[in-house]
Chains A and B, each alone.
Chain A
Amino acid sequence: MDSLHAIGFYVSAAISVGGGLMVAFLPGRGARGLAVAASGLGIAGLYASLSADFAGLIALVCYAGCALLIAAPRYRVVDSPAGFAWRQAGAVAAAALFAVLAYAAYRGDFVSATYRGGEIGSAAIGRVLFAHDALAVEAVGALVLVALVGATAAWRVRDRGR
């Protein structure tokens, strides 16, 4: 990875992780949506710096959709039954997860290799998606279908209840 890609990688990493932390601490759905969008922008930048431009484009669109969903006026508050102590324990567990995974990444004995990439490569990814791993694509497609049908059904039930 040359210096330009490395700078892009570290800047994108800072944006994505910073956006993720802002999601946790910013109040209000609008600010949270903006933070998710910033995090998505950083993740797309990470993909681009890793020569995964096509995945970056898809991530950009999907995270913009996530941000719109989170910031949309249809957003409703659902309070968790878990108390403050349990949420604090969850935060500590998240920190422990970071420590364990970071240690595993640091101690891992990885083989370095050269990579001759750089182009968007949408045709090659399309061949992998629809020929080599068609079953996985169909599974994700089924998940998207179920999610959209479930969301529509939930919205209709709520509207009928008014």
Chain B
Amino acid sequence: MSAGLVSVLFVAVALVAAGAFVATWKKDLSAALAGIPLMFGGAGVAFAGAARFSAAGDPKIFGQEVAALLAVAALALVALGVGIAGRGTSR
């Protein structure tokens, strides 16, 4: 059993599509915020996979760096969104 770059990209695409689905499907905009970390996670997986299977180019760990930055950015955006949504009604 093995996994190559195409498998990694398939999973990344599935995560991005799942995030887009959550963002569009949920009627509650606060719940739709949960799609952001999924989409960013998919992008990060694609970057990490490209770094893992890349043939050339420096630095080799550029993709890992972008993946880490995307995770932090997703947390920041969710915090901002939940904060703005805090002006709505509680349920």
A interface with B by C-beta (< 8 Å): 1-3, 5-7, 9-10, 13, 16-17, 20-21, 23-24, 29, 32, 35-36, 39-40, 43, 46-47, 49-52, 54-55, 58-59, 62-63, 65-66, 69-70, 72, 74-80, 87, 90-91, 93-95, 97-98, 101-102, 105-106, 108, 110-113, 115, 117, 121, 124-125, 128-129, 132-133, 136-137, 140, 143-144, 146-148, 150-155, 157-158, 161
Contact = CB atoms under 8 A, between A and B. Distances in A.
A52 B29 contact: no
A132 B66 CA distance: 12
Given A87-B25, A112-B53, A7 B8 contact: no
Interface residues on B, range: 35 or more
B62 to A, nearest CB: 7
Query: DSSP majority for the A interface?
Result: helix
Contacts of B23: 90
Interface residues of B: mostly helix, strand, loop or mixed? helix
A157 B86 CA distance: 9
Contact of A47 (B9, B45, B55): B45
